[in-house]
């Protein structure tokens, strides 16, 4: 049976999909269960005849924290797994899958999850490897502008190093106004 073409192949591997799906289901169900429990619990607390009514405002705030903490912990775990997956895929030069794993970091509401800029650095490499120069430059520009640090410095050093010359490539031309000078 012939191998599927890259355009028809799945964007993300089954193993990665299973890992990410497990994180989503686990933290999604936990958040939903806490939301239901907090709703029923706070309904009792917010009744004026309830013995806990005098503390209903601090308890409302606490119930929101109880519901949102596992939600944000799950988001953090999900994006950490995406970053690890993207790191591995860029290392193996599987650009299309790396873009699928790292592209959520480029969303305006998810940029805070890439605190040091590594995801945007890897995303720029994946876009460049896939041949999408415009998106690669957009990821590089975001990294330079909003995430100063080791990954922005690495991006600058990668851009500053000249590419190695290939066999048969012409030497760069000298400017016309410079002369060769004798050394001795």
Per-residue b or e along 133-171, where b marks 16 or more CB atoms closer than 10 Å to that residue's CB: eebbebbbebbbeebeeebbeebeeeeeeeeeeeeeeee
Question: pTM to 2 decimals?
Answer: 0.69
Range of the domain at 26: 14-160
**CA 87 to each of CA 20, 90, 121, 124, 129: distance values in angstroms, whole numbers, following the listed order:** 15, 5, 10, 12, 14
In a domain, 58, yes or no: yes
In a domain, 87, yes or no: yes
pLDDT exceeds 70 at position 29: yes
In a domain, 169, yes or no: no
pLDDT exceeds 50 at position 1: no
Per residue in 39-78, pLDDT (tens digit) is 888 888 888 888 888 888 888 888 889 888 988 888 889 8
In a domain, 129, yes or no: yes
How many domains in the chain?
1
Q: Which residue has the higher pLDDT, 19 or 175?
A: 19
In a domain, 178, yes or no: no
Per residue in 80-110, pLDDT (tens digit) is 999 999 999 889 888 888 888 888 888 776 7
Nearest Cα to Cα of residue 131 among 84, 99, 89, 175: 99
pLDDT score recorded for residue 160: 42
Question: For the chain, what is the mean pLDDT?
Answer: 79
pLDDT score recorded for residue 53: 84
């Amino acid at each position: 049976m012939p191998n599927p073409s890259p355009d028809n192949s799945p964007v993300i591997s089954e193993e990665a999909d299973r890992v990410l799906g497990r994180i989503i289901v686990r933290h999604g169900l936990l958040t939903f269960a806490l939301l239901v429990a907090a709703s029923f619990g706070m309904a009792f607390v917010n009744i004026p005849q309830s013995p806990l009514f005098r503390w209903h405002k601090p308890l409302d705030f606490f119930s929101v924290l109880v519901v949102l903490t596992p939600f944000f912990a799950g988001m953090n775990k999900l994006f950490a797994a995406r970053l690890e997956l993207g790191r591995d895929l860029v290392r193996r030069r599987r650009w299309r899958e790396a873009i699928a794993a790292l592209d959520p970091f480029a969303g305006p509401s998810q940029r805070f999850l890439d605190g040091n800029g590594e995801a945007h650095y890897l995303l720029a490499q994946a876009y460049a490897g896939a041949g999408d120069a415009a998106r690669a430059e957009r990821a590089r520009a975001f990294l330079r502008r909003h995430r100063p640090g080791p990954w922005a410095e690495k991006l600058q050093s990668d851009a500053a190093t000249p590419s190695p010359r290939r066999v048969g490539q012409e030497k760069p031309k000298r400017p016309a106004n410079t002369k060769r000078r004798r050394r001795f």
